Every structure is written in structure tokens, then in C-alpha cells.
Amino acid sequence: MDEVRRRAQSLLSSSGSAQDVKAEVQIMASIPLPPSEKYRHFTAEAMLRENTAGRSRQEVLDSLSRLVKALSILEKYGCNLTCPARPRYWRSVKHNNPVFRTTVDAIKGGRTVLYLYGYTNQQIDGLSFPEEVTEPDIEKVAAVTLEVMTLRTEVDTLIKGTHPHLENFKDIIPFVIQQDKLLSDAVVILPGEEQQHGDEPQVLSPSPKPSQVLVHRQPLKPLTGSPAASDCNLCGGTVSLLCPSCDNKPFCDACDDLFHRHPSRANHKRDRVQSSKQETCTICGLSTVHAQCSTCVQRLCLKCDRLFHSHPDRKGHNRTVITPAKTSSPSLSPWECAHCTTVNEMRAVLCTTCERPRLATAASTVQESSLSVPTSPNTEWQCKSCTVMNQGSSILCEVCERPRLATRPPVAPLLSSPGSLSDAETKWTCQFCTYVNTKPTVVCEMCSLACKDSAGVSLPRSLLQTPSITKDQPQLGERPQLMPRVNLELKRQKKMREDGLNLIHQIREAEKRGVSPEEMYAALCMCGGSNINPCDWLTSELPHLLDEICAMAASVQLNYKAGDTEMQSDTVERDGEESELSGPVVAGEGVKLSRAEAKLAWLAAGGDTDRAVRQLLRDRQVKMRELHSLGFRDVSQCEEALRLSGGEVKGALSLLQRPLLEPFHQHIWTDQPEPPIDPKHPDKQRMCRRLLALYDLPSWGRCELILSLLQEPGVTYSLEDVVQAVKESHDKDFIRRLLNNECPCCLCIFPRSKMQSLTSCQCSVCHECFGQHFTIAVRDKHIRDMVCPVCSEPDINDPEQLDSYFSTLDIQLRDCLEPDVYELFHKKLTEHALMKDPKFLWCCHCTSGFINDGDQLKVTCPSCRKSFCAQCKKPWEPQHQDLSCEQFQQWKRENDPEYQRQGLAGYLRDNGITCPHCRFQYALTKGGCMHFSCSQCRYQFCSGCNNPYHKTGCKTAQCSYTGLHAHHPRDCLFYLRDWEPPRLQALLQRSGVEFNTDASNGAQTDACGVMEQKDEAGQQTDSPCGIQTQPGQAGLCEKHYREYLVSLINAHSLDPAALYDAQELTRACERYQVDTQRGESEDDKAYHTRLLVKLMEVPLGEKVPRNK
């Protein structure tokens, strides 16, 4: 027991699923231990005794059923606590839950189990865990839950009568245990012994020897006419069958149907036990038993069963119809198919193998032939589908549930005497409804169908041709010829069709004039025999008729009040029943009726004036009683209200309530403002009621929580903020955290409901700071500057993250920005989307952009109307026509005096910085800081290799740096700007690349004239370099001369690793994650040569500008 308990407790603690421990619970429930030893945490004996109080067995079983339901709910509470994914509101159990009230709270000991789970804190509306408890005791909850599941299983088996150890509960619930226990110790007296003992008294006692017990318990083969051997093996009822395949176990009809429905026992052959004496009803003791009720353990006859189970409390009882024993019924046992010899179960109608129907046996054929004779309604009948013999009172077959088929009623034989006038000649029977009609009618008085008798004698004499005695007399043996019949049915149907079409035509014409079909039908009843148009009659005569109906109803009501019983019986009586006109419904001179009520009554009566008067009085009486039940006792006021409202109860109720609501209306429309809710008001209940009326709060406890929070010292939040926080949670600490949040921008305290955050980060700012930040960003900054004001997230260089960010930001800014600012934001967002189009171009003369659909080099800006090259983004010149951009640059170097005067400064300007994101070109050099920020798209990149700069962590493998950084290739200006000019010249000379050392003719030689971006007084401006030039550097300063040499290296894709020393080689290999492990006995030269070969296998920068 302890091992199974520990294993089940471990499984339940880890999974929290009852299915995982189902097998262990079954084992624990079947262990033969008394409840006092099996259940350690709660007293199961006391719970069973307290919940099984009852005077009868049925009451005890009902109490046990309620206990099983309550234990199932407690089991779910325990599994929820042990489940890793506990529900949201696991800390409390509410008493106002209807399931809790009808199950756990309805039994004794239910709250004790909840205390064991940990629900020890008593609240106004339920139980909860103490505030200091953050997690439930999983081990204890699992142990208690296992005992609850075990007790539920045992009680369930007790109710079903299948508990293996009933002796453990005989002192706890003896009433049920004693009745469920089978009389297994009774001695069966053999037929031979019965004759020997004669009339001597016999004592049924257990046999002292086991061998004798075995002999007495041997199954007896039932003989014809012998009584039943014992009670049913399952339910203890009267035995009707014995199964030799099941060791001759006895069964009743219901248990046999259930037990042998299993596929392994469906082919068993059972023997019918013949009962010499039929059992009588347990109530009247006279009639034969018709049904057995398993709920109230009663065996009743048909009449007592209907009377006893007509009570509302016993309508749902499960009853089984007991079929009397029949010797000739072959359908109570499995049947063998006549085609494929497959043995099928009793309920089967078709064979399971060949799917052919069950054929009637010889015995059933005899019975069917006998059934053709007229029998009484209580005679047994055989089903035409499955051949089962059913009781005469049953309508559906007990096996296949198919209806009983009606047989043709017997027809009396015709009299052969020609001279006598018999009933066959004066009456005829309808073949459709079996009604006996009298001649000479040829249409049935019940179903209005014509006579279809095949014999000529069933027709009236007026329709028969008088045969000639000499010529037309039929000879002996000849069959009489059928006489022609008048087709009256066809004429009747034709007449009905014409009347129906005429009625439909009149209704359609009336609908065109706004008359309903009901009004049209009633008008036709009033003026059907005249030539008056029904629609015209409704307009001219109906109002007078309604007034007449109202006057007649008022007259009847006055006569009733005066006690004129004769008038009452003539006008109020309908269908032989007297209408009830009692109660306080009349007063004054007479009833006050309206035309609307009279019209409804007239339509309901189908145009009958007398019926309309009675219907009008009945409707008015019902309405008066309804108003009387609502508290309005003044009959005259109710009559007047119904008259003014046209007979509508809602309208009359509105009129009657208007004077009563007048003080309330005056209070609502008064100019005095409603006093605010004071949390320190002495009348606490009044404040709670006002909170419930003004705010949609879930419970009274939440109102008290609001008042307690507002009464705390140093409170700065408003009532609305507290109400919003209390609606979200009932935890006071969590509510305090919701109400106290500091804005990182203005450092003020706000509730969570007045804070706003972006989807890209977890920062929260107040609504005012949020709106001001994005208003300034939209008006004065680039669209890529619209990031979080606290952490500057998200990263603007990630296009996927940026697109999703702007889609959600648009929804947030819609409500917090002014309309003109929001429109400007949409304009910038549109420009940002257009920049992703490959046909989008920035003008080199102005800051405008547009989409170029053409394929020519020369494009014209639609804003400034100036032309430039679509490929090199240089101002357009006539010499560029029919020349590529490289050819045009070479022509300028050779022929343009201004370009020659600028020298290499012009070369560096023409090969300036191009934004890799929006392709906007800057006529600036790359010297100085390599971190460049595009003024058009705010893209941050390296001006030497065009790789992006990352503000936080990047997606590069093995990179753990979270600050501002970029990943530069080894041929980037970021590394080569530290080389001396002679070293760079040596790299170019090694590859045979020419470079300049002298300034061009006419170029300035005193100061460097290369344009670069400078930060002056916080503003980014473009101005010449101005540094003194050095000889042998082509009229440039040393910084820009290095840039010139590196541009040649990049243009010819030269690898600088060829000139690395040992330290630079090792550092570059570590940067590119090249294996730098030195081999055994490897000298420095071989080691460096091997590293150089591996390093040069790493490709150069892909985005490095390589313009020639």
C-alpha cells in the first residue's frame, strides 16, 4: 500500500493529471483495508456516515451519488494545484459558484478537504490561501488528492455493487451493504430431496462441510415446468434464463441482454427457465409484473407502474420491461443465418457476414398465420423485421425498436340471400380511415375520400345500372363486371384548387393596399356572400364593427357585474367550458376598451363577432391580472392606461409608472452636482453601493478594497485610477505596483493605465512625454530618429525589425499626435518606403527624390529641373553623351582645365562617399572619422568599406561586443590609413599600379583643398581640408594622400596581407578566426608562410568601393 501510494504521489506531483495515476488509484481502492487504516489525512468513515443519512435504500444511494460528485470536484481542485500550469485564480475558491454550492458545500467534510489543500484563509465570498503563501504544498496536496480519488472510486463501486470488499463498510453503511449482498450461503434443495422431506419445515443454513456446499451449488439443468433454481447472478432479480456456456449461471432478461452483448459471449446459447407461477406486483399484489425499476427496486404491473412513476421525482427512473416466458419464441437467443450459417446476436436484424435479413422460423410462421385472425389489442404480436414476440400493449419492438404494423380490419362476409336487405347493402366501410358510412353516400364523412370498393355492392343503388333479368343476368361461374364510377374526388380537388387560387389572388391584391392576410381572411368571412370588396369593407365598415365589439364587451362586463348569470353563460361560454371572469378586474361604470384590442380579438376569432367579444374580455382580464400582480391595485387607472396604450401591457406599465418615477426624474435632472465618493465617509456600505452603481465592479469585496486603498496615508492617485487597477486584480500588493510607476523622462509617478510603451522595448513613459517626443521627432528629425526616448530602440539598421516597428508605431501615434503632425509622419513614412524602390533616385543638385522609369543616363529632377547622370550621379554635361561614366571621367582628367587644376582633390571628390542604403552621393573624402551617418536615410556605415555600424549586439557569429562597432575587412581604409605612404606605394609597385607623386599643373600646392565634413558649433558643414601639403604627395596632405593610395589599392583589389609582418599576420588571423596553432618543429618562416596562405584564402570586403 505504501509503495503504491508513494509512486502515485510522485506521478501526481510532477504531472498533475488524474489519468496518470488512474491505475494506482484502482489498486489502492481494491486493497482489503478498513477506511480507518487506508485514509490518513481525513476521516473517511465519518464522512461516509455523515453523508449517508436516509430512511430508505434509495435515499442512501442518492446521498452517495452526491458524495461522488463532490469528491470529483475536490479531485479537480487538487489536480489544478499540483499541475505545473496552474489556473490563473488558483489562490481562491468562491462560495457563490453554483457548482461549488451544489457539490462541495452540499456535503459534510468538503471544506475540511479544502483546508487540507491549503485554503485556510476565510474571506467574505470564499476561501483562499494566506497572503504569505506563494506556492501550495505540492506533496501534501498530492497526498490528499490521492485519498480523495481513492474514496471516490470506492464509493462509486459501492453504488454499482461491484466493490470487492463489502465487509469493510458493513458497520458504516449497513443498510446498502445488507441489501446488495447476495444470499450465497443458501442451500439449494434438489427435487428428490423435496419429495423426501414432504411438508416438514426446512431450515436454510450454511452447510458445515465444504464438499456439501460444492454439491449444493452445482448448477441444475432446468427441467420443463420446474421452478427457477436461484436469483439472477448479477442483480438478484427473478431468473428467466440459464446459460450452459457460463457454467449454468442464472440471468434475468435485462442482465442477460447486457452480459451477453459482449463479443466474446454473443454466441452463447441460453435456456429459458419455465416459471410455473407468475410474479405479482409489489404494490397491488394482484396483476402480473410488467416492469422492473432498478432505481427504486420495485416490480410493478402496468397500471401501478404508470401511477407510481407519474410523480415528478420518479419520472427519470430507469425501468426494464419484463417479457413473459414463451416456449415458442425463438428470438430470445442468438439466431443462425439460413444462408451462411453465421450465429448472430439476439438484437441483430441483418446477418453480420452476408448482411441478409433474419428469416422467420416455422414456429413464427405458424404464429403469423394465427395473427391473421382478429385478436384483441392485448394479444402478443410478432415483429415483421426481427420476429421477436412482443407484448400486446407495446407499440415498438423491444429488440429492433421498429413500429408495430397494423393489420387489415376484418370484413364481414356478404349475405348470399338476394331477397334480404342486410347491413352490407345499406352500409360500407372506408378503406382509408375504416369509418362505416351509410348508403347512398359515396364520400366518406370522416376523411372526405371517395369509396374505392372493388365490389359493385358497396356502391349506392342510384349509381348502379339496373341489370336486365333475362339478358344481362350473369351465368353461373362468370365474374361480374365492374360498373363505371363517378369521379367525385377529382371534382372536389378541382373545386378546392379554384377556391385556393382565388383566395391567393385576393390576398395579393390586399397586400398591395396594405391589408394583411389575416384581415383579408376575416373580411371575407364577413362579406363573402356579397359583392362588396373586402378591402373597401375594411376601410368603411370595420371601425364601426370594432366599436360595436367594444360596446358589446362592455355590456357583457356590466351584466356580469350585476350578476346576470344567463348572459354570462350565453356570451362567455366557449366550447362547452365557462370562462373565468373572476378577480378585481372591473370597477366604475364599465370596462374601457380600445379599437386596437378589439381588432386583435376580431382577427384572432377569424371574423366571428361573438367569439371576438369573448376573446377581447379574456385578453383584457389577463392583462389586468398581470398589472395587478405588478402591484397596481387601482382598477380604473389600469383600465385607462390600457385604453391609452392600445391594449399593450408595456405601454400601460410605462404610463402607470410615470407618476411613481416623477420624484426620481426630478432628482436626476436637478442642477445640483452629484457629491463625490468620499472614502472616509462613515457610511461605508453607502459608498460601496455607489461604487457598484457607477463602476462595473465584479463584487462587493472589490468595492471595499478600493476604499481601503484610498484611505492609505500619502495617497496621490485618483479614484478612477484605483478602480481601473482593482478591475485587473484583487491582490493589494500587485495593485500598488500598478498605481506607482515612474516616468523615466519627467520622473513623475503615474498609474500603469496612464503609461505607454513601444513594442520594440520594455520602457514605459507617460502619455505627455510620449506625445512630445514623437511630435518633435516628426517635425524636426528624420524618420529613423523616431525610436524609444529611453533606450533608443529599435536598431534602425535592421530592415526587418524597422518595418514591423513602423507598422505598430502608426497605430500608437494615431491617437497621440495632432492631425497635421500625423500627416507629416505619413509623408515621411511614404518617402522611406519609396527609397527601397531600385528606380528611386536622389537629385545631386537638391534634396528631392523621385522614381525614374526610363533607362537613359540623362535624367531631369522634377523639382529643380536640373539634369544629372543616373549612374554616376554627376551633373550632366554634353560630353557625357554616348560615353560611359568611366570614359567621361577619363576625358575630364585629360581635357577639363578646372578638373586638372583641382588635381587629385577633384579625383577624391568625384570618388566620394555613396550611401549603400539609399545610394545618395556625397562629394566628400573618406578621411577622418570612418563612422558616417547619411543625412537622407540616417543609415550609419563605414565610409571605407560600406559595412553597417551596430549600436548594440550584431548578428555576426562569435561577436559578443554590445557597443558601437562595425566589422571591417583587411583592405578597408579603417586599417590601411595607419600605413605610411611608402608602404602603400610599395604595395602598388608590387602589382604594377601607377600613382602620382607630383601635383598637376596649376594645382594649389600650399594647402590641401579636399572637401570634407566638419563639425562646427554643433552643425555638420562641408569645407576644404586646409592642412599644409608635403612634397612628393601630389599636392595633398598626408591624410588625403593615404586615402588616394588606398583608393587605388581598392580599385585594383590588392590584398595588403602580402606586406604584413608577423604581429599583424597573427592579429589578422585571430580576427578572421583562422587557426593559429603552431605545428611541431615548425620554424617561424614556415609558420608565417602557412598563416599567410590561410589568411589570403579569406575573401576581401564585398562592399568596398572599387571605382577606377
Write out the catalytic residue numbers: 929
Q: What is the DSSP string of 354-391?
A: T-PBPPP-HHHHHHHHHHTS---TTS-EE-TTT--EE-
Residue type, 31: I
Q: Within 10 Å of residue 121's Cβ, how many Cβ atoms?
A: 15
Closest by Cα among 969, 967, 968, 971 to 987 = 971
d(CA 287, CA 285): 6
Strands (E), 203-288: 241-243, 249-251, 271-272
| Three-state secondary-structure class, residue 263 | helix
Please check whether residue 1050 is in contact with residue 1104, taking contact to mean a CB–CB distance below 8 angstroms.
yes
93-101: long-range contacts, CB 8 A cutoff, minimum separation 24? 93/119, 93/126, 93/127, 93/128, 94/125, 94/126, 95/125, 95/126, 95/127, 96/125, 96/126, 99/73, 100/73
Neighbouring C-alpha atoms within 13 Å toward the C-beta of 879: 13
| Three-state secondary-structure class, residue 736 | helix
Closest by Cα among 572, 522, 570 to 545 = 522
State phi, psi for 761 to the nearest 5 degrees.
Answer: -150, 180
Residue 257 zone, left/alpha/beta (φ > 0; ψ -120 to 50; rest): alpha
d(CA 403, CA 386): 12
Q: Which segments of 541-590 does DSSP mark as H helices, in order?
A: 542-562, 565-571
Closest by Cα among 246, 242, 186 to 213 = 186
> Which secondary-structure segment (H or E) carries 922?
strand 921-922
Please check whether residue 488 is in contact with residue 450, taking contact to mean a CB–CB distance below 8 angstroms.
yes
User: What pairing do the DSSP bridges indicate for beta strands 92-94 and 849-851?
Assistant: unpaired
Closest by Cα among 412, 387, 407 to 397 = 387
CA 301 to chain centre: 48
Strands (E), 931-1088: 931-933, 940-942, 1011-1016, 1019-1024
Closest by Cα among 547, 601, 546, 542 to 574 = 601
State phi, psi for 223 to the nearest 5 degrees.
Answer: -90, 165
Residue type, 603: L
Closest by Cα among 378, 318, 386 to 351 = 386
Nearby residues of 902 by Cβ (< 8 Å), 6 or more positions away: 909, 1003, 1009
CA 396 to chain centre: 39
Please check whether residue 947 is in contact with residue 966, taking contact to mean a CB–CB distance below 8 angstroms.
yes
d(CA 644, CA 688): 41
Which DSSP state fits 1104?
A: S
d(CA 931, CA 925): 13
Which DSSP state fits 577?
A: B
